Amino acid sequence: MSSDPGPTVWTVRNLLTWTAKHFTAKGIDDPAKEARLILAHVLGCRPIEVLARYDDQPTDDERQRFRDLIKRRTEGCPTAYLVGTRDFYLLTFEVTPDVLIPRPDTEALVQSSVDFLKGKPTPTVLDLGTGSGCIAISLANQVKSAVVTAVDLCPKAAAVAKKNAEKHGVSDRVSVLVGDLFAPLPSDRRFDLIVSNPPYIPASEIEALDVGVRSFEPRKALDGGPDGLDFYRRIAASASAHLNPGGQVAVEVGWTQDANVRELFGAVGMTVLPSVKDLGGRWRVVRARG
């Protein structure tokens, strides 16, 4: 596995122990969990099942595949891309390097949206920049009457979203379109809720991000323009024209952007609603009514 010869017998337990120490030395967060996720992928089982296989001895081929993935992880490739999945809001989503990796912070956007949609008979939702489809599909999964339109500029990302919608049995209520924000929609198409986790990193700050983000995740899903607010301006300019009476827009924001994004929506005449914090206590979701 490295210059450290390790134990003489490579059981599952020994592989996990050695790899967790290796990841710790490389500065990788949550090293034990990362090791378990990658080994479970190699062994073709769920991560929780790895714990019951501590005394098993993986085959030489499995150990080699594990070594290869460990090397790629220490080079910066995110684990989600190595194993091809990421858990988000009670579901497991397939991910590829064509889509942003779903993050726990975005669950605040989903939860606040579920709260708004529940109780409505047949709510309609538009998800702009859907990526893996994690927001659109989570909303359809949680609100069984919701009909969701998901849009992404990248055809490959749209294909991932479609695959995830099929995987979770909501493809009859989640349609995926390819295009730039509102462009694929008829001008008179309106929704009860517009949601988005748009690119919001200022262009000048991208190179300072963790290597796993700046070198492996799609740049178009990160770059929010010079000040990080380009997509919020565009969404704010067109949102009201695509909202039903009483409809809302809800967008994820960077933790320093709440005031600026609220101002953008207020400037176009929308009624800005109380923002929502993420689990870390930071302002994460800006909401406005058309």
Say what percent of the chain tops pLDDT 90. 94
C-alpha–C-alpha distance, residues 278 and 288, integer Å: 17
Q: What is the CA radius of gyration of the chain?
A: 21
Instruction: Map residue 196 onto helix, strand or coil.
Output: strand
Give per-residue burial for 215-248: e unless 16+ CB within 10 Å, then b.
Answer: ebbbeebbbbbeebbbbbbbbbebbbebbeeebb
Band the pLDDT of 79: cuts 50, 70, 90: very high
∠ CA 4-5-11, rounded to 5°: 115
Neighbours of 171 (CB within 10 A): 17
What confidence score (pLDDT) does residue 290 get?
85
Q: Are 121 and 146 in contact (CB under 8 A)?
A: no
Q: Which two tokens stand for residue 243?
A: 């909202």
SS3 184: coil
CA nearest to 125, candidates 14, 249, 23: 249
Residue 140 has pLDDT above 80, yes or no: yes
What mean pLDDT, rounded, does the chain reach? 95
Query: What Cα–Cα distance (Å) separates residue 127 from each residue in 93, 140, 143, 151, 265?
Result: 16, 11, 15, 6, 17
Distance, CA of 90 to CA of 103 (rounded, Å): 12
Of 275, 247, 7, the closest CA to residue 125 belongs to 247
Query: Residue 2 pLDDT > 90, yes or no?
Result: no
* pLDDT value at 11 more than 90: yes
Question: What are the two backbone dihedrals, phi and then psi, of residue 208, each rounded to the nearest 5 degrees?
Answer: -90, -5
Phi, psi for 151 (deg, rounded to 5): -125, 140
Sign of torsion, CA 41 44 46 51? Answer: negative
Q: Which residues pair with 148 in a beta bridge?
A: 125, 174
pLDDT, mean of residues 35-58 = 93
Q: Between β-strands 283-289 and 243-252, what pairing exists: parallel, antiparallel or unpaired? A: antiparallel
